[in-house]
């Protein structure tokens, strides 16, 4: 019954693992889940208060498709203040989460046969959405030895006359790698003189533990012109369920096309979320953001040490986000087999690396309490010593 187009899509492996863990838990099993891609913290009270105020003030109706003017202004101000980027409000569109922003972007820019460069390991959604848009995925492999970051030489070798776009995720899901300003400048040099667009996914921008965050579009005028900046509030202020994301681009006609698509599909995002998002963006929640960042940072330190103390297991200390991409290739190349057996035997849920395009690894989210992290890693250690 279904179209060929829809059959291209496979279910997100992260959601599949999370669902399986939830089912096992509902069946009474003692499950510790490290698979979720969301903070364990609640949305800051100051943001909730804005939402409640918006409901009581009657902001409960349709709004402009691309977001209310006050929200778009708050986004423009944030991009200027935090990222040094100048975007006017007609260069910004608000969507139902950054995932939706990316969906709209690929639909609006990718033609049949266009190549899209995706560094692996990648966030599971990119290749699926690119394929759904008719594009061809070109992966660039990275590994622990280059901190899971692509090199200028790799980028150069991957570009052909069909290359439409490079997707950059900094900080990365699933590895937590962060590109330095110098590394971005070197990649930008390779792109000079080409027509390659850059989709810069900056969702984890606020979760940096080492060094500074640099936006790809802030590198140079050339990069500003070719980069589409994608961001949101799901990770930085624990608003995953509210569904808010945005995209900024120099080309106003691109924004217009995405607005047309959105107007005929989902329309505006939730009117109440829009009011809450202003509070998430304008600095009112900065203290909460810093509290969460600090908590993630100390969990990261402890979890990295615990994993690196397991024989034949290693993990890079990530500079950002809240994931560890644990290397188990010395003991098991098949990450799906490892993850399933681990879940069944020990009740520990992690996400197999194969879902991110890199087998022999798994993703461990440390967006959970430290006691669970200690217990989970201890169970993983015992599982490995028993089975390998
Ligand atoms: C790298 C990256 N980009 C985008 C998203 C989408 O976030 P949302 O749709 O909740 O805004 C996620 C969520 O997991 C992510 O990890």
pLDDT of residue 290: 97
Whole-number Å distance, alpha carbon 50 to ligand 1 midpoint, is 23
pLDDT of residue 362: 97
Atom of ligand 1 nearest to the CA of 101: 9
Measured between alpha carbons, how far is 362 from 354 in angstroms, rounded to an integer?
8
The C-alpha torsion from 115 through 266 and 39 to 362, rounded to 10°, is -30
Instruction: Report residues whose beta carbon is within 6 angstroms of any ligand 1 atom.
Output: 37, 97-99, 123, 169, 173, 201, 203, 232, 234, 240, 245
pLDDT of residue 8: 84
pLDDT of residue 25: 87
Measured between alpha carbons, how far is 228 from 85 in angstroms, rounded to an integer?
12
Whether 166 and 115 have beta carbons less than 8 Å apart is answered as no
Considering the entire predicted model, what is its pTM?
A: 0.96
Q: What is the DSSP string of 69-101?
A: HHHHHHHHHHHHHHH-----GGGEEEESSHHHH
Atom of ligand 1 nearest to the CA of 240: 10
Please choose, from the candidates 124, 173, 139, the residue with its C-alpha nearest in 3D space to the C-alpha of residue 9: 124
Whole-number Å distance, alpha carbon 232 to ligand 1 midpoint, is 8
pLDDT of residue 138: 98
pLDDT of residue 351: 94
Q: Which residue has its alpha carbon closest to ligand 1 atom 16?
A: 173
Q: First and final CA of the chain: distance in angstroms?
A: 45
Atom of ligand 1 nearest to the CA of 245: 11
Measured between alpha carbons, how far is 127 from 239 in angstroms, rounded to an integer?
25
Q: Which residue has its alpha carbon closest to ligand 1 atom 13?
A: 37
Residues of the chain with pLDDT under 70: none
Burial of 329 (0-12, 13-18, 19+ CB in 10 A): middle
pLDDT of residue 10: 78
Atom of ligand 1 nearest to the CA of 123: 1
pLDDT of residue 282: 97
pLDDT of residue 267: 97
């Amino acid at each position: 019954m279904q179209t060929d187009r829809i059959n291209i899509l496979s279910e997100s492996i992260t959601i599949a693992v999370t669902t399986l863990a939830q089912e096992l838990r509902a069946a009474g099993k003692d499950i510790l889940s490290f698979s979720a891609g969301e903070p364990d913290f609640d949305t800051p009270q100051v943001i909730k208060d804005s939402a409640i105020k918006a409901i009581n003030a009657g902001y409960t109706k349709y709004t402009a498709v691309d977001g209310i003017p006050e929200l778009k202004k708050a986004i423009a101000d944030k991009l200027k203040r935090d990222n040094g980027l100048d975007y006017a409000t007609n260069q910004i569109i608000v969507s139902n989460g950054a995932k939706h922003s990316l969906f709209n972007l690929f639909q609006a820019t990718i033609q049949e046969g266009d190549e899209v460069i995706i560094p692996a390991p990648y966030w599971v959604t990119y290749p699926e959405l690119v394929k759904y848009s008719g594009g061809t995925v070109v992966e660039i492999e990275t590994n622990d030895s280059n901190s899971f970051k692509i090199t200028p030489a790799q980028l150069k070798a991957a570009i052909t006359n069909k290359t439409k776009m490079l997707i950059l995720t900094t900080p990365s899901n699933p590895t937590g790698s962060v590109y330095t300003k110098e590394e971005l400048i070197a990649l930008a040099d390779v792109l000079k003189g080409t027509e390659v667009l850059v989709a810069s996914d900056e969702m984890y921008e606020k979760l940096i533990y080492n060094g500074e965050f640099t936006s790809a579009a802030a590198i140079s005028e050339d990069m500003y012109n070719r980069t589409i900046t994608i961001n949101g509030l799901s990770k930085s202020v624990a608003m995953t369920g509210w569904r808010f994301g945005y995209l900024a681009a120099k080309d106003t006609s691109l924004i217009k096309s995405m607005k047309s698509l959105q107007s005929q599909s989902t329309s505006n995002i939730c009117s109440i979320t829009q009011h809450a998002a202003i509070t998430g963006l304008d600095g009112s929640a900065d203290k909460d953001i810093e509290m969460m960042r600090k908590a993630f940072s100390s969990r990261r330190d402890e979890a990295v040490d615990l994993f690196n103390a397991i024989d034949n297991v290693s993990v890079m200390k990530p500079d950002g986000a809240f994931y560890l991409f644990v290397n188990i290739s010395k003991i098991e190349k098949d990450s799906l087999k490892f993850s399933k057996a681990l879940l069944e035997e020990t009740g520990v849920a992690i996400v197999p690396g194969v879902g991110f395009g890199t087998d022999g690894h798994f993703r461990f989210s440390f967006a959970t309490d430290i006691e669970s992290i200690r217990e989970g890693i201890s169970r993983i250690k015992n599982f490995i010593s028993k089975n390998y």
